[in-house]
Amino acid sequence: MFVVGTAGHVDHGKTALIRALTGIDPDRLPEEKARGMTTDLGFAYFEGPGGECVGVVDVPGHERFLRNMAAGAWGLDLALLVVAADDGWMAQSRTHARILASLSAPDVLLAINKIDAVGPERAEEVARDAAEKAAALLGFRPDARFVSARTGEGVPELKGAILERLFPDRRRLSGKPYLFVDRVFTLSGAGTVAAGTLRGGPLSVKDELVLWPAGEKVRVRSLQTYKAGTELALPVSRTALALPKPRSELRRGDLLAGSGMEVLSGREFLCLLEPLPGDTELCPRDEKGRLLLRPGLEAELVLGSARRDAVVSPYRTPGWLRVVSSEPLACPPGQPFALLRRGGTELLARGRVMAEGATDIRARRTLDAVLPGVPALAAGLGSARGSAAGGEPGADAGRRIPGEDDGAVPVRRALEILSRGWTLFEPGADRPSDPAAPQNLRVLTGQEGRFFFSAESFDRFRVRLLETAGKPGGAVRAELESASGLDTGACSALLGALEAEKALERSGPRWNVPGPGPKLGKEEARLEALLIRADAEGVEPGRNVPQQDGRTLKALCALGRALALDTGVFWHLSVYERLSAAVLAGRAAGERFSVGQAKDRTGLSRKYILPLLNRMEDEDLVKREGDVRVVLPKGARD
């Protein structure tokens, strides 16, 4: 399944060419019929080999409707850049080519239309000129085909060229399904219908989607592709989804995405600019040679099928831009965008959306400080293509498919490492060929994958962990995670590194800075000796020691010498370590055991075995499933 779209100057015959290719008139609005001019998106299709459908999106050519053209450009596999043989390359030919390069960078075919109005030499001249000008903007030289939509000459050859370009390039279906909504309507018996170009993975009836930016869950009632009902829609295809009426308004520009898919949603975005098509500059300059992108500039943001007013502010590091939309928007990470002059047609900038979230002045200062290091770090993290990784676009850089290109991934990872301090690389994920390169990158391996720290962040987290563990009695891992701000996997990997360099040592569930422990007072030493003698019977204030001894026992807990069970009984730490080790001895992660089996191993009565198991559960040594306990992986209880 594929989707093709037209582009080109007004009156160069785009709609007529679609009628000739498909037999369908894509002009659907009465105004379009009356004026003989396309003003909004139109849709048609024709059958490819084996009966598979190729969707066709018609776009308006007049500059007044450029925003509607851009709404249809984001999800194409191939664009037909239509140039009339009698007129030749015109202003909107250039504008449309720049939009294609900015939003979708699809494969492109030149369709030299109206050859019935000129001689062969003129048609060849127009084709050569159009190919050269298009190549300067797209980064590759598109092939040309000669057609007459009026007489039908060359139309079968053009269709054959389209199929030849598309169908050898079959792509593996993977990922979550998503589409930007470009049409919303109501049908009797179906309810609310949203239509768009489906990308990512397949979509089935009854699948759950999330409507962004509202974040509302919806379930697909029925599906239709190319006017035929279906139980399964495949990407890339024009797809209509019948949905329950959502609580929030559904409109063009909204994103429907598979549940669990990573989505950037909000009003404020961090964007990475790419050079303007056919240029080395990131944005145009005014008559005095000054860059047009300035703090507070008002522009129009084109993202997916959405068009929103926005205010932009460049960061000090060239190529990074803060964009604040007038209304909430949503997109997958790395989604291409374009900025247009407000109320005009000039392309001000293009690039990819890398992150979202409202930032205060402190967060923006942090970003300003780390952004210069992103390109070098990204280059070491993966083979990012084109300017997103700081390199030069390759010969086929213009043929990437949005949403299926990983060129933005290393940049996002580098941004996460430098701004958050670390990022997780799952086992088997893309990784640097040499973990030591680039310099200043610390790689730690844990049970949950490889964690990448910048040298600065490693030192910062190291200090936090050592300060917390260095308090009297050390700290359990939960306290260390809370103090450092790291999640379980990252904290475990960092603790393992600190243990290996002997900066920390474990004492049961606690971590301590090596060295002599604090000197005990007279009452603390007395009660510690009593705890050791009491062994598994323990000490309980008000039962076998005075109630006022409870305060001193709690002090011993804070010093890491004792712990309290949930029944109010205190044990010496060595007692707990011995009994918990007996319960786990020889048991592999995932192994299940009963309370009775734990009693047999420890010799404890039910009064003590249940509090022991509860404490082990608190320490992430085991978890409870019904009447049994399950041993957790060693890494989860380190």
pLDDT, residue 601, reads 92
pLDDT band at 324; cut points 50, 70, 90: very high
Alpha-helical runs (H) found in 421-472 = 455-469
Return the number of other C-beta atoms located less than 10 Å from residue 493's C-beta. Answer: 25
* pLDDT digits 0-9 by tens, 83-131: 999 989 998 898 888 888 887 656 899 999 999 998 999 999 999 999 9
Identify the structural domains of the chain with CATH numbers, from first to last: 2-166 (3.40.50.300), 178-258 (2.40.30.10), 264-393+405-420 (2.40.30.10), 441-512 (1.10.10), 523-637 (1.10.10.10)
Distance CA 303, CA 283 (A): 18
Instruction: Tell me what the mean pLDDT of segment 490-512 comes to.
Output: 85
Angle (deg, nearest 10), helices 522-534 and 573-584: 30
pLDDT band at 78; cut points 50, 70, 90: confident
Q: Are strands 297-303 and 306-314 parallel, antiparallel or unpaired?
A: antiparallel
pLDDT, residue 593, reads 94
pLDDT, residue 174, reads 63
Range of lowest pLDDT (188-192, 242-246, 315-319): 188-192
SS3 content of the chain, % helix, strand, coil (to 5): 35, 30, 35
pLDDT band at 64; cut points 50, 70, 90: low
Stated as kind and residue range, the H or E segment containing 364 is helix 361-370
pLDDT, residue 439, reads 54
Instruction: Tell me what the mean pLDDT of segment 438-456 comes to.
Output: 74
Angle (deg, nearest 10), helices 14-22 and 155-166: 80
Cis preceding linkage at 509, omega within 30:
no
Which residues partner with 178 through β-bridges? 199, 257
Alpha-helical runs (H) found in 470-594 = 477-484, 488-500, 522-534, 550-558, 573-584
Return the number of other C-beta atoms located less than 10 Å from residue 596's C-beta. Answer: 11
Stated as kind and residue range, the H or E segment containing 403 is none
Q: What's the whole-number average pLDDT of the chain?
A: 82
pLDDT, residue 402, reads 36
Instruction: Tell me what the mean pLDDT of segment 420-441 comes to.
Output: 56
Instruction: Determine what percent of the chain is predicted with pLDDT higher than 70.
Output: 85
Q: Does residue 273 have a pLDDT over 60?
A: yes
Instruction: Determine what percent of the chain is predicted with pLDDT higher than 90.
Output: 34
Alpha-helical runs (H) found in 109-234 = 120-138, 155-166
pLDDT band at 516; cut points 50, 70, 90: low
Q: Does residue 406 have a pLDDT over 60?
A: no
Q: Are 349 and 339 in contact (CB under 8 A)?
A: yes
Range of lowest pLDDT (278-287, 316-325, 402-411): 402-411
Q: Are 114 and 148 in contact (CB under 8 A)?
A: yes
Question: What are 235's two structure tokens?
Answer: 């990407």
- Single out the residue of 357, 280, 287 nearest to residue 318, CA to CA: 280
Q: Does residue 412 have a pLDDT over 80?
A: yes
- Single out the residue of 110, 255, 135, 268 nearest to residue 196, CA to CA: 255
CA 496 to chain centre: 29
Q: Are 4 and 78 in contact (CB under 8 A)?
A: yes
pLDDT, residue 442, reads 77
Instruction: Tell me what the mean pLDDT of segment 429-443 comes to.
Output: 52
* pLDDT digits 0-9 by tens, 6-42: 888 878 888 889 888 888 876 554 454 444 444 467 7
Q: Does residue 133 have a pLDDT over 70?
A: yes
Q: Does residue 168 have a pLDDT over 70?
A: no
Q: Does residue 424 have a pLDDT over 60?
A: yes
pLDDT band at 407; cut points 50, 70, 90: low
